[in-house]
Amino acid sequence: MTALKKAPAVTASFVLVCCILGAVAVGMTILFAICIGPTPLSPGKMISWVMGQEVPDPTERTILMEIRLPRVLLTGLVGALLSVCGAVLQALLMNPLAEPFVLGISSGAALGALSSMVLGAGLWSMGTSTAAFLGAVGTIVLVLALAGERGRVNMTRLLLTGVIVNAFFTSMIMLLVSLSRTEQLHSVLFWLYGDLSGARYDQIWLMGASCLGGLVLFFGHARALNLMGLGEQVAEQLGVQVRRSRTLLIGVTSLLTALAVSSTGLIGFVGLIVPHLMRMALGADHRVLIPTSALGGAIFLIIADALARTIVSPSEVPVGVITAALGAPFFILLLRAGGNT
Amino acid sequence: MRPVVEVQGVWFSYGREWILKGMDLEVVAGEILGVVGPNASGKTTLLGVMQGILEPQRGKVLLHGQEMRKLRRKEVARQIAVVPQDSGVIRGFTVLEVVLMGRNPFLGPFSFESAEDREIAMEALVSTGCGHLWSRSMDKLSGGERQRVLLARALAQRCPLLFLDEPTAHLDLRYQMEFLSLLVALHKERGLTIVWVSHDLNLASMVCQRILVLLDGRKRALGPPREIMTQEIIWEVFGVHAILDYHPQTGSPRVTPELPVHRGSGEEAPGVGKAPESPGRWRGSD
């Protein structure tokens, strides 16, 4: 695949055009996704509702406003968050395999969530998502503490520590799964592969605000990320305060990932492939990569979720199954077609 | 006049043994200072300390009289541009994008490079003979082309100080010479102060006004090429017997190492004594 980007250097107008096109694509994906489902709605009907030409049917209105729209919006935000965090971590860790879950955040969150599910939320009187968030944050602190040395964090060591902690927690998760009762097993497994069904508007506001804040911070560090991706020394030689930026960015990506995971469970692959796709198509400059990864992640996850809830309708497939099943072959195809990531 | 960079009693270690052992150095404005020495003598470490990316355990480094460790990286990067030793392949960026990174110290967090920044970058590319490469992808370049693009990036920083770490290591003879003449021209036209770490004594001798010879983390000698390039110093530092003469064009001292002869085997090493047509080897300054 040849790069869509023909310009020899990124400009503000190029970034703007990418963002506008991406936003239009996200809008169309949302429209498509809220139309499909067990009760089909047509885009034309919805437009006339919005224009006030037609009074919506109460049932259809409830399906749209209370079920589909919040779910699609939350899905989009989670997709955007995971994908943009993946893009940032790939640069920070200088590793193309990095993704939001690589530092053990996923298994930490899962351990928290499963503990509350299996051992009983009443035990600590907190919900699944709070437990997941605490688990995720606790894991990041643990990994950073184990990998750090006299206040400095070596990126290779951080990556390895994350992998090891992940392995340890995964075994703990299997222990909890094996201890869980049969009737719990379904919800436990669903959570492990991503569950978007319980979307609420208050979650959406929280996620939306965090997503926006994260994007502004990451975009402000875009040139620094370009340089840090080339190596610590090069970045320092060209004026980046590497240690400070790194600590800040790792902290924020971890918190955002914890937030995403705690509200929807583990959804893999988005944070790995979407940034790579964008890099193949548009180049490695983070001023393009950060906004387009967010938009692309939203589109990818909304489509995956639309498939997840329709292909075996009225039942549902966990969305993580779709992201991997859809993403892996697509990614391999692109890679073989000559991507240069 | 106050020296631009002052290294005062610097001791540096990566953790186990000392790499720099009480280094003192003053870089004078407008000079080309060569830093030579055997492998592991601390050349690159010294350069790192002088840029403030390595913090010495003892002693201090001053840039224009200000303590290096108190300066922000952007302030340093507006004063010192560095051409690194070997960057490896850079993926996902075009040549122009890489050179534009040299403008980073002058830009705020959300800003894009201006038309002026682009002009500066293109001018830097043209001056290093890479103007035609500007729209190429960085990972498609040869090692020599990459090295010249990195020099262009450093030039795009428009800094009064230029630090080079083995910049000619990947260049063939022609580009080595072009690189040297470019350095000399930049030095003359813009009055750049250049610190150049080199393996190649002869190249250093051709362009440097002063040469610092490092041995085991200490300063062994410092002075003009004619003073420090002696058989004694070369033997002591590199463990090589040298034949010294002068470059016919520039008059700078020139070292020709003697191939060690395996005594006792009865045979001379290959090549030794096989140059009867040469104009005659004559001993230099001794």
Beta carbons of B104 and A241 less than 8 Å apart: no
Cβ atoms of residues B165 and B197 within 8 Å: yes
Beta carbons of B104 and A9 less than 8 Å apart: no
- Contacts of residue A71, defined as CB under 8 A and 6 or more positions apart, other chains included, come to A196, A197, A199, A305
pLDDT at A4 over 80: no
Maximum average pLDDT range among A149-163, A207-221, A243-257, B196-210: A207-221
pLDDT for the residue numbered A28? 95
- Counting DSSP H helices and E strands in chain A, the numbers are 15, 2
d(CA A128, CA B11): 54
For chain B, how big is the Rg over CA atoms in Å? 21
Nearest CA in chain A to B133: A8
Give the lowest-confidence range in A29-33, B110-114, B256-260.
Answer: B256-260
Find, among B195, B177, B140, B170, the residue nearest to B28 by Cα. Answer: B195
pLDDT for the residue numbered B281? 44
- Contacts of residue B147, defined as CB under 8 A and 6 or more positions apart, other chains included, come to B83, B167, B168, B169, B170, B171
Find, among B5, B46, B49, B51, the residue nearest to B28 by Cα. Answer: B5
Q: What is the pLDDT of residues A55-82, one digit of tens each?
A: 778 888 888 888 899 999 999 999 999 9
Computed over every residue of chain A, the mean pLDDT equals 86
pLDDT for the residue numbered A234? 92
- Who has greater pLDDT, A45 or B7? B7
Mean pLDDT, residues B102-116? 93
Residue B64 carries which DSSP code? T
- Who has greater pLDDT, A124 or B80? B80
Does A313 lie at the interface with B, CB-CB under 8 angstroms? no
pLDDT at A1 over 50: no
Find, among A37, A44, A109, A50, the residue nearest to A258 by Cα. Answer: A109
Q: With H, G, I as helix, E, B as strand and everything else as coil, classify residue B195.
A: strand
Computed over every residue of chain B, the mean pLDDT equals 87
Q: Name the one residue in this structure whose structure tokens are 């692309």.
A: A296
pLDDT for the residue numbered B145? 87
Give the lowest-confidence range in A27-36, A118-127, B35-44.
Answer: A118-127
Nearest CA in chain A to B118: A9
pLDDT for the residue numbered B13? 93
Crossing angle of helices A286-310 and A69-92, rounded to 10°: 140
- Predicted structure pTM score: 0.87
Q: What is the pLDDT of residues B119-170, one digit of tens each?
A: 999 999 998 888 999 889 888 888 888 888 999 999 999 999 999 998 887 7
pLDDT at B276 over 70: no
d(CA A266, CA A262): 8
Compute the nearest-CA separation of B222 from chain A (Å): 26
Q: What is the ipTM score, two decimals? A: 0.85
Instruction: Say which of B53, B94, B96 has its CB closest to residue A236.
Output: B53
- Who has greater pLDDT, B49 or A50? B49
Share of chain B above pLDDT 90, in %: 57
Work out the end-to-end distance of chain A between its first and last CA atoms, rounded to an integer number of angstroms.
11
Tokens of A165: 């902690």
pLDDT for the residue numbered B20? 95
Buried b (16+ CB within 10 A) or exposed e, A24-53: eebeebbeebbbebeeebeeebbeebeeee
Beta carbons of A240 and B104 less than 8 Å apart: yes
pLDDT at B270 over 60: no
Tokens of A259: 């937030």
pLDDT for the residue numbered B35? 96
Nearest CA in chain B to A11: B112
d(CA A234, CA A211): 30
Dmax (CA) for chain B in angstroms is 72
d(CA A267, CA A112): 16
Mean pLDDT, residues B202-209? 91
Q: Is B239 exposed, middle or buried (0-12, 13-18, 19+ CB in 10 A)?
A: exposed
pLDDT for the residue numbered B277? 45
pLDDT interval class at B286 (50, 70, 90): very low
Does A96 lie at the interface with B, CB-CB under 8 angstroms? no
Does A1 lie at the interface with B, CB-CB under 8 angstroms? no
Q: What is the pLDDT of residues B215-252, one digit of tens each?
A: 999 999 999 999 999 999 999 998 888 889 999 888 89
d(CA A240, CA A91): 14
pLDDT for the residue numbered A110? 85
pLDDT for the residue numbered A58? 84
Cis peptide before B270 (omega within 30 of 0): no
pLDDT at B282 over 60: no
pLDDT interval class at B266 (50, 70, 90): low
CATH H-level superfamily of A12-336: ABC transporter involved in vitamin B12 uptake, BtuC (1.10.3470.10)
pLDDT interval class at B31 (50, 70, 90): very high
Element (H, E) at B161: strand B161-165
Mean pLDDT, residues B58-86? 93
Q: What is the pLDDT of residues A128-167, one digit of tens each?
A: 778 888 888 888 888 888 887 766 677 888 888 988 998 9
d(CA A103, CA A161): 7
Element (H, E) at A15: helix A12-35
d(CA B97, CA A9): 5
pLDDT for the residue numbered A283? 87
Domains, chain B, in order of start with CATH, read 5-228 (3.40.50.300)
Q: With H, G, I as helix, E, B as strand and everything else as coil, classify residue B21.
A: strand
Beta carbons of A340 and B137 less than 8 Å apart: yes
pLDDT for the residue numbered A121? 54
pLDDT at B10 over 90: yes
Crossing angle of helices A242-264 and A69-92, rounded to 10°: 150
